[in-house]
Structures are given as structure tokens and as C-alpha cells.
Amino acid sequence: MDTTTGSIVVSPSKPRSSVGSVQISPNNYVNIHNQSCNHCDQSRYEICNVNSSTCQCPPFTYWNNGMCMTQLFQGQLCSNTYACRTDLNLSCQPTCNFTYQCSASPTAGIGLTVAGFCNGSTDAGTLGVMGPWGIYVSPFDGILYVTNFDVPRFQSFLPFSRIGSTILSNGLNSPEDVFADSSHNIYMTEYTINQGIMYIQRLGMNLTSFPAIGQSDSSCSLTGLKSVDGVVVDRVGNIYASLSTCSMIVKWAPNSTAGLLVAGYPGYYGTDSNSLDWPRFMHLDEDRAALYVADSYNNRIQKFIIGGNGTGITVAGGNGAGTNLNQLSRPSGVWVTHNGQTLYIADSNNNRVMRWNIGDTQGSVVAGSATGVAGSTNTLLSYPGDVALDPTETYLYVSDYYNNRVQRFILQ
């Protein structure tokens, strides 16, 4: 134990006693952790891991990015994935008192609140979210980004923190979606201001808007962002935006003054494979050059090949609105796994989240009601707006719009 205080109790039967302590510090680990096993042969602090042949923390301890600490027990506060006694089936879980504590992992289908109040209460402070809509979990650092539609603002929540920070709130009216890239640039869409605008926050720079003109007109031209809804950005900075009332997806290259049509017909909606009807949020599988779009009013998820001819492939839904496992109803959010094989879909009107494997003719319900019932318990949702997976694909995050909270479900 890392302790420096205590007392000695003399026992008559054992008059000779030995008392001491070892106080650890990062200096004990700086030259050994994650190094080859010869660095910890004579160390009392780390042991050789036979699988990786590197120096790692001993049993019942965890690495806190500076030193090995003793793992925690039930109910203790935690702020690390490995802080809790995994041998006792404990993990670091969010609580309704706005902390993270070591507790038993929930079973599949039970949601825990990671942003907002568990009971659906509203609050415009750091603890609450109000009408959470578009969300994003950064694959680089695990930060949760939340768009608040009802009280317009964009928020961020650090991993293992239930306290939110406001990124932007002034001058907003109808915020829709948020995205963060590997350089921590944050892209935020606003549906109505200036006919549609995208704000960009970069480290150490003043807030900017995109495109440079900052507005669109009513003609659904490619020189603006009329009624912009969803946003994703690729590794080289190309911005993909869904324009819902214009029924199209546009791509903006860095420093360009006009967008390139990716999918849909500007200003015209339809049901064929080249058309869209109120596209909302998107997910970009850059490794496979695929863009997935929640084609909301067509009750389907469309896949478009980047650089292709604009013909979409229906990968989920497309069988009319309904609650059957081969149907969706006004889907708004979509997320694709790292391997490109599984979709998670915010099936908004059905108050559920669907998991759909590529090539399957139907999906399965992983969160919410299979029959479309709305509710506020930890197993129900009320108009989920968007979905995201954490970097390890252990957890599913869902913006639970009418319950004013973001829920997290374990994936099994």
C-alpha cells in the first residue's frame, strides 16, 4: 500500500516486530513499463508478461498512465478502464450521482446514463443535456460530443466524466450534428442560421464557418449548405455534409468554394437507388471508400462508394416503415464497425437501436423496445436520434432525445 502513516501495537507474545512501508512514485516505473522483460527482472514493481514479453503491472493493479495502482473494489470511485477488480466482474461504470464507480457490468439491453440526468430531468448547466440529437465518440481519445437541439449548444464529455463542457452556444438556433477529427478540430452543423452553416473550432484559433461564404440560398446550389444536417470528415480534410431538405450529399474539399455532389438530386427527393429523401446523419468507412447515409423518409440505410456514380445500395431497411426486423421507421443515425461488417442504426420512430450485418435481410434489436414502445426506464428509449461506438467497440452510445440523456449499452 502507498501509505506513510500508521501505528505500532506491541504484542506480549511477539515482542519483536518489524514495521515499514513502500511508497511508490512514477520514478519507479519510468524506465520499465512496456519495456522488454530484462528491464524488470530485478524489479519489485512490475512483472514480465509472457504474452507480450514486456514489463507490466502485477495482478490486482492497473496502469494509470504513470504508475501501477491497486485495483478498486465495489462502489469505489474510478476514472480508468482497468481501475476495478476485473476478477470480481467489476468495471468502471457511470452512476446517476454524476460519478463513475466500480460495479458489476450491466447486462445487454440495460442502458446507463453517461450524459444528462437518469430520470429525464432537464438542466442547462454542466450536468444536463436538453434534447440531445447528434452525437459522436472520438476514436482517438474517447471524448463524447453531444448536440443539444432544444437548448441550442454543443457539449463535450471526457471519458469517465459526467460533467459536460460547452463548446459553442452563442448564436445557435437549430444545431444538428457534430464531428471531431484526429487533430481535434470540431465540426458543428447549424440547420437554420444563414440558411445553413457549419462551424469549425480549431485548437488555438478563432471559430470559423464553412463554406467561406457561410450561407446558402433556397435553390439547393452547390455553393452553400442549405439546411445542413449531418457531417463527417475524412483524413485529408474533405467535408461530407447531408442537406436534408435538398435531398443530397455534398463533398467540400479543403479551401474550395463549391461542393461536389456525392449522392441525390439537388432539391428533388425520390425512392430509387440514385435518390434520397431527407438524409440525416452519416458514417464514413474510409478504409473501404464507403459512405453510409440514414435515408430517413425512405426508411432505409444507403451505402455509396466514394468516387462512384452516385448509385446507392440499400444495406438496411427499404421495406417500408414498420417494426418488423426487416423494417425501419425514420432512421436518423448510423455507425459502422471497424471491420465494415456491422451497422448500428438509430431507428427513431421505432424507439430502438438496430444491429444489422452487411448482407443480411433483417436486423436485431440491441437497445429499446422491439415493438416500438417509448419509455424512460433503463431498458427503453424515446426517439433515439443518433448512435456511436466507443474506440474499443465495447459500448454503444445512444442520444435519447425525449428523455434528455445519452445512454450507454454494453455490446455482447
HEC letters along the chain: CCCCCCCCCCECCECCCCCCCCCCCHHHCCCCCCCEHHHHCCCCCCEEECCCCEEECCCCEEECCCCEEECECCCCECCCCCCECHHHCEEEEECCCCCEEEEECCCCCCCEEEEECCCCCCCCCCCCCCCEEEEEECCCCCCEEEEECCCCEEEEECCCCCCCEEEECCCCCCEEEEEECCCCCEEEEECCHHHCEEEEECCCCCCEEECCCCCCCCCCCCCCCCCEEEEEECCCCCEEEEECCCCEEEEECCCCCCCEEEEEECCECCCCCCCCCCEEEEEEEHHHCEEEEEEHHHCEEEEEECCCCCCCEEEEECCCECCCCCCECCEEEEEECCCCCEEEEEEHHHCEEEEEECCCCCCEEEEECCCCCCCCCCCCCCCEEEEEECCCCCEEEEEEHHHCEEEEEECC
- C-alpha span between 394 and 410 (Å, rounded): 6
Regarding whether 78 and 57 lie in a shared domain, the answer is no
Residue position matching grid coordinates 456491422 = 342
- C-alpha span between 258 and 323 (Å, rounded): 40
Residue 121: its pLDDT value, please?
A: 92
pLDDT in tens, the chain (412 residues): 455 566 666 666 665 655 666 688 999 999 999 999 999 998 989 999 999 999 999 999 999 999 999 999 999 999 999 999 999 999 999 999 999 999 999 999 999 999 999 999 988 899 999 999 999 999 999 999 999 999 999 999 999 999 999 999 999 999 999 999 999 999 999 999 888 999 999 988 999 987 764 455 668 999 889 999 999 999 999 999 999 999 999 999 998 888 999 999 999 999 999 999 999 999 999 999 999 999 999 999 999 999 999 999 999 999 999 999 999 999 999 999 999 999 999 999 999 999 999 999 999 999 999 999 999 999 999 999 999 999 999 999 999 999 999 999 999 7
* Long-range contacts formed by 91-100: CB under 8 A, 24+ apart: 92/160, 94/162, 94/408, 95/162, 98/127, 98/162, 98/163, 99/162, 100/160, 100/161, 100/162
- C-alpha span between 56 and 33 (Å, rounded): 6
CA angle, 134 then 139 then 145, to 5°: 30
Residue 214: its pLDDT value, please?
A: 47
pTM: 0.92
Residue position matching grid coordinates 430520470 = 119
Regarding whether 138 and 10 lie in a shared domain, the answer is no
Regarding whether 162 and 128 lie in a shared domain, the answer is yes
Nearest to 306 by CA among 321, 293, 319: 293
Regarding whether 344 and 231 lie in a shared domain, the answer is yes
φ/ψ of residue 88, rounded to 5: -100, 15
- C-alpha span between 110 and 369 (Å, rounded): 11
Q: Are 222 and 259 in contact (CB under 8 A)?
A: yes
Residue position matching grid coordinates 450529399 = 249
Nearest to 292 by CA among 325, 332, 323: 332
Regarding whether 172 and 133 lie in a shared domain, the answer is yes
Regarding whether 91 and 60 lie in a shared domain, the answer is no
Regarding whether 280 and 177 lie in a shared domain, the answer is yes
Regarding whether 389 and 294 lie in a shared domain, the answer is yes
Q: Which domain holds residue 236?
A: 112-410
DSSP bridge pairs for 5: none
Regarding whether 29 and 147 lie in a shared domain, the answer is no
Regarding whether 373 and 336 lie in a shared domain, the answer is yes
Regarding whether 236 and 185 lie in a shared domain, the answer is yes
What are the CA-CA distances from residue 132 to residues 228, 248, 352 (Å)?
Answer: 17, 24, 15
Regarding whether 150 and 82 lie in a shared domain, the answer is no
Residue 272: its pLDDT value, please?
A: 98
State how many domains the chain has.
Answer: 3
Among the candidates 70, 96, 121, a domain finishes at 70
Residue 218: its pLDDT value, please?
A: 67
Give the largest CA-CA distance in the chain. 94
